[in-house]
Structure 1
Amino acid sequence: MTADHRVQLVRDATFAHLEADGGISGTRGTTPDGLFLRDARHLSRWQLTVDGTSPTTLVPAAAEADHTAACVLTPQGTRDQPPAYTVFRRQSVTAGTFTEHLRLVNNRPGPVTARIELTVDADFADLFELRADDRHYAKPDGRHETHTTDDGLLFDYRRADWHARTTLVCNPAPDAVDSPQDASRPTARALTWHLPLDGHGEAQLHLTAHAHPHGAPSHPPAAPPAPRRTPAPAPVDDLTRTCERGLADVDLLTIAATGVDGEDVYVPAAGIPWFLTLFGRDSLLTSYFLLPYRPGTAAATLSALAAAQGRRYDTFSGEQPGRIVHETRHGELAHFRQVPYGRYYGAVDATPLFLVLLHAHYETTGDGALAVRLEEHARQAVDWMFTDGGLDRHGYLVYRPDTGGLVNQNWKDSAGAICFADGTQAAGPVAVSEAQGYAYDALVRTARLAEELWKDEPYAHRLRTAAARLRTRFTSDFWMPDADFPALALDGDGRQVDALASDAGHLLWSGILDAERARRVGRRLLEPDFFSGWAIRTLAAGQPPYHPLSYHRGSAWPHDNAVIVLGLARHGLTDQVDTVTEGLVAAAAHHGYRLPEVIAGYDRFATATPVPYPHSCSPQAWAAAAPLALLTASRQVAVS
């Protein structure tokens, strides 16, 4: 069964992927099914049979709301012997809980007995185990147990100091609990009920699974406050609808985190299924897009990232003093350092983006209290840029491929994404173009904070001078005169990585390019090899490495386009703003006004609808917030 036949439920940092009949079969790969919380799968099998056979699906599972789905099932029947009863199945998720309500309706005038069997298992697999990347992780001391309780089951997993559980409560309690005949795992159990139904009567069955992940707080933080909706512009149009859907998706992806002073804060997680956790770059750009409408999101994100800021050197995780974290994880493999992602710092751009957002929050709200509160964190972030980030030694922010983590440490973080025009991957230390723009903007903005709020003019002067030198150096080293376009990167030998890529559009947003070059780049990005009609591609078509179904070498990302559109607006390129906005909103309209993480790079004239990228996260935070950036840009050019 393909992912297209599945339904996804999400609420309160908990999500479930279900098959068309509402079941879970324990799949892996692109879209694993199950119940997930804190990077672990707490239900890996949930399969219903009626009268000894798999049911017929009359109405496939469909979402009634983002956290609730329903389907209609029956025992197998024929035209002459229609099913004796119908099963109305309703399922939902909330914080750490999966709930199922079965309502069985007798279709006959006489009494019948429905035989219901549910096979359940919990494998407690870490999300990193479920990816289709052929990696395997040893767990020689892991112990799985299943216990029968008075009203259900207890699944228990222990490994050294790691302990996770899933409990199942049934009302009514099952008549029997056995090992299923087809059990692929010894921990699976089959629960059986014999439910009497009067003539045209009905019976109810309630099932509640509670996930108890390792390390979960004994007193979970309260639910985030209801968001304050920003009044929509009139009239209600497709951009407005896309913004509303985006705000709703951001709400779905909002999770609890710990702020810099130990307070509970609520931040946008990156996306489902793989990234329902705090991500530095993703959460920062999402918060920036939302800033004119929900400034509280930026404040929460900045506080959470300041709390996780690097304090020491750790080669395994990439932690360095002052560096802003790339991602955080709560799973078993991170706990035992089998993957480096418990707190992983392998990003070259999260640190300058932290500084950009800190000033932008002050600039937007007029309230400098947060920037004063985080002054030392900001100074440490600046120090990282000059020292371990590479500005002093290399003249640029640089990264080296991390063999245990990410080969590329900018937003195009897949292997091979930072490539020459012939497709060759750049070797490190690599200086990607957009990160230099972020660094320039971070220095300029932090200088303003130093001058206006911290009252440290010598420090402000130092940062302004460094920014000006970076801007001059960047133009000299990155600009490709023959292409009249900036290089994607400089490799470790200082060579221009000459693939034509969308990263150039970020330079318009950051302001590192002079106005004339910026306008030329903006117009170039709307040429047909870059602009598909739906969006600007990550890599211009016609180059050897271009592939419309690649992750970063020809696909199109809404958040990438949103940053570019903000840059187009900054330089008064009104027609280009309108063109990209129209394409993205038209693409969203084909997806229920929800922008996916990424779409394929095929031309709009070639297909009636945008072609999905097969491994796209949805919902995904910076794609969800992208329409708000489009709205901001449209308003900017309208008044310019």
Structure 2
Amino acid sequence: MTPAGPHVQLVRDATFARLDTTGGITGVRGTAPDGVFARDGRHLSRWQLTVDGSHPAVLVPASREDDHTTSCVLTPQGTRDAPPAYTVFRQQSVSAGEFTEHLRLVSNRPDAVTARLELTVDCDFADLFELRADDREYPKPDGRREVRTAPEGLVYDYRRADWHAGTTLTCHPAPDGIATPDSSTTARTLTWELDLAEHGEAELHLTVRTDPSPPASTPAARRTAPEVTDDLARACERGLADLDLLTIAVEGVDGEQVRVPAAGIPWFLTLFGRDSLLTSYFLLPYRPGTAAATLSALAATQGTRYDDFSGEQPGRIVHETRQGELAHFRQVPYGRYYGAVDATPLFLVLLHAHHETTGDPALAARLEQHARRAVDWMLTDGGLGEHGYLVYSPDLNGLVNQNWKDSAGAICFTGGTQAKGPIAVCEAQGYAYDALVRTAELSEKVWGDQEYAGQLRTLASDLRQRFADDFWMPGPGFPALAQDGDGRQVDALASDAGHLLWSGILDDDRARRVGRRLLEPDFFSGWAIRTLAAGQRPYHPLSYHRGSAWPHDNAVIALGLARHGLHAELRTVAKALTAAAAHHGHRLPEVLAGYARTTTPTPVPYPHSCSPQAWAAATPLALRTALRGVA
């Protein structure tokens, strides 16, 4: 096998590939699996080239020509006295449901030579959830993989009850031979003997097609880049390009096809409620059509019944959707999974914000009943009526925490103990307040229902006062991260408090105190605001949510700083994030480690960060919006 090493990632039109620096795929699993992926499944798990009987030498390792194409330069093994007889120029790319490869062999000798190429191929059709390093196993006793030879290549087939997936490899020219290596059941080695005239050339074209492929759709339009004037503009340009790459086609509320931002790759190339909503909000002044598409898609998947396995409840907005085998057979709850406490109020926030930004009432009118059902969910199953707050209880089949910090242990006391449910996280209460206020305005101005508007404003006012009484911690002068099921304040100092500035649930005095506190050294690393202030027992700079720093989290905080006139603090955060982006080719990763800038000359990325990732890609646009009018 080719030794493990750096990898190259390609993405376009809901299809992505992860390759090693020779262009190969070894079938690894764990935190960063390689392969070719479409619709939550791996359609190519082995793709290993040998030349003249050995692994090729690498003259130029694989690097991206653009976001969906890579190339490298290889040769047979050689020495100074016996240099390689030919050179292999390898180019690979992905498009909607396809992976293609072009090999051009160029002879380096003045006489004829025959090049022997062997390509070992396999398709394991693994679901993305099987590839995670979480020690879970998913039995598939009736799953059957088969491979058959076709005139121009191979056809792989996987069936399990009513589930079907396929991968077809087409080769031009056709292989000279096909063999079974290593006693494998479905791996096949294809062989070509390619004749090269003196200083001549030969070519080999390979096309891998996935079935079922992503839904047929027009590729996302590639926008003309704005004029680049500074690092923030470059980050915005990179972010918009990444969002084009992450755009996928899904069904809207009336059956129409809409294009929405998927959350990120490799794990989340699918519709996510919270992620898509915040991404669309960040983009709203620049691409309002994205918000309209996201709202339509989420209205189409809004809960209509009770299902304990998936968390579906009437009116609830979906957390994520999946199209893979394990979701199909309900071995994981994520086909349509509703385990999010915050997606529903954020849906209402974005619906009003779209109307406010565009001045067009049509979408708000079209989705009136969906909005009313979302409010009903907040007041009933969401917990506002019974508990006074939006709450969730840990889901043993899905997510322990159902806010944006959804990793186990993220909602913790200063001693590090995870809070127990029903849990009311602070930022969700801010979203709920904002949703009620905004929906009241829609009810008054678009739906013509003054009575309903008054009811919502009363609910919002009561929530705001209750929150001030229950969540504010007088000692540190800071909001609690959450309330647990016993009504205790979950007292870890966390960045979630910054979201309260954006939502407006805090009065101006407390909001300004919180905003300034977030810029103190235990919170602010110099690159970004940490998710958890350093110095607390559960702080860990390489954790997912207990000391790392998330660009989108900082973007929400930046919008809140702007709302409360904290311009110096806003400029500090924006400048730091822009500098961090510049160190990563102007692309912000999903997560940064929490190490202080004084100790690291470059920002340290979180080791399992998605890249590109939608709300990180949209963060520079949110910063640009926040900075408008700031001297």
Tell me the TM-score range normalised by the shorter chain.
Answer: over 0.9
What's the CA shift string for 1:235-261, capped at 9, x where partnerless?
700000000000000000000010000
Measure the CA separation in 2 of the matches of 1:231 and 1:143.
Answer: 50
Contact kept? 1:8, 1:16, Cα under 8 Å:
yes
Q: Find out whether 1:489 has 2:482 as its counterpart.
A: yes
Partner of 2:451 in structure 1? 458
Measure the CA separation in 1 of the matches of 2:212 and 2:129.
Answer: 16
Measure the CA separation in 2 of the matches of 1:145 and 1:298.
Answer: 43
Q: Find out whether 1:384 has 2:385 as its counterpart.
A: no
Q: Find out whether 1:515 has 2:508 as its counterpart.
A: yes
Partner of 1:263 in structure 2? 256
What does 1:142-161 align with in structure 2 at a 5 Å threshold?
A: 142-161=143-162
Partner of 2:495 in structure 1? 502
Partner of 1:196 in structure 2? 195
Partner of 1:123 in structure 2? 124
Measure the CA separation in 1 of the matches of 2:594 and 2:96.
Answer: 37
User: What letter is aligned with 2:425?
Assistant: V
Query: How far has the Cα of 1:577 moved from its partner?
Result: 0.6
Contact kept? 1:317, 1:346, Cα under 8 Å:
yes
Partner of 1:221 in structure 2? 217
What does 1:260-299 align with in structure 2 at a 5 Å threshold?
A: 260-299=253-292
Number of aligned positions between the proteins: 630
Contact kept? 2:226, 2:237, Cα under 8 Å:
no
Contact kept? 1:249, 1:621, Cα under 8 Å:
yes
Measure the CA separation in 2 of the matches of 1:230 and 1:536.
Answer: 29
User: What letter is aligned with 2:280?
Assistant: S
Contact kept? 2:580, 2:602, Cα under 8 Å:
yes
Query: How far has the Cα of 1:596 moved from its partner?
Result: 0.1
Q: Find out whether 1:325 has 2:326 as its counterpart.
A: no
Which TM-score applies when normalising by structure 2? 0.99
Q: Find out whether 1:253 has 2:254 as its counterpart.
A: no
Measure the CA separation in 2 of the matches of 1:137 and 1:583.
Answer: 43
Measure the CA separation in 1 of the matches of 2:508 and 2:225.
Answer: 33
Contact kept? 2:222, 2:241, Cα under 8 Å:
no
Computed over aligned residues only, the root mean square deviation of the Cα atoms, in angstroms, reads 1.1
Q: Is the alpha carbon distance of 1:248 and 1:195 closer, same or farther for their aligned partners in structure 2, counting shifts above 3 Å?
A: same
Contact kept? 1:562, 1:626, Cα under 8 Å:
yes
User: After TM superposition, where is structure 1 displaced by more than 6 Å over at least 4 residues in a row?
Assistant: 1-4
Q: Is the alpha carbon distance of 1:3 and 1:289 closer, same or farther for their aligned partners in structure 2, counting shifts above 3 Å?
A: farther
Partner of 1:60 in structure 2? 61
Contact kept? 1:3, 1:31, Cα under 8 Å:
no
Question: SS in structure 1 opposite 2:598?
Answer: helix
Query: How far has the Cα of 1:222 moved from its partner?
Result: 2.7
Query: How far has the Cα of 1:209 moved from its partner?
Result: 0.4
Partner of 2:204 in structure 1? 205
What's the CA shift string for 1:36-82, capped at 9, x where partnerless?
00000000000000000000111110000100000000000001100
What's the CA shift string for 1:196-243, capped at 9, x where partnerless?
0001001000000001028x55xx23333x2555745xx700000000
Measure the CA separation in 2 of the matches of 1:58 and 1:112.
Answer: 20
Partner of 2:86 in structure 1? 85
Measure the CA separation in 2 of the matches of 1:400 and 1:450.
Answer: 31
Specify every segment of 5 or more residues in structure 1 that has no aligned partner in the other structure, as ranges.
none
Identical-residue share of aligned pairs (%):
77
Specify every segment of 5 or more residues in structure 2 that has no aligned partner in the other structure, as ranges.
none
Q: Find out whether 1:447 has 2:443 as its counterpart.
A: no
Partner of 1:421 in structure 2? 414
Query: How far has the Cα of 1:4 moved from its partner?
Result: 6.7
What does 1:588-599 align with in structure 2 at a 5 Å threshold?
A: 588-599=581-592
Q: Is the alpha carbon distance of 1:230 and 1:455 closer, same or farther for their aligned partners in structure 2, counting shifts above 3 Å?
A: farther
What's the CA shift string for 1:70-97, capped at 9, x where partnerless?
0000000001100000000000000000
Q: Find out whether 1:134 has 2:135 as its counterpart.
A: yes
Query: How far has the Cα of 1:608 moved from its partner?
Result: 1.0
Measure the CA separation in 2 of the matches of 1:437 and 1:484.
Answer: 18
Moved more, 619-628 or 2-11: 2-11
What does 1:15-94 align with in structure 2 at a 5 Å threshold?
A: 15-94=16-95
Query: How far has the Cα of 1:6 moved from its partner?
Result: 0.4
What's the CA shift string for 1:414-453, capped at 9, x where partnerless?
0000000000000000000000000000000000000000
Question: SS in structure 1 opposite 2:498?
Answer: helix
What's the CA shift string for 1:359-401, capped at 9, x where partnerless?
0000000001000000000000000000000000000000000
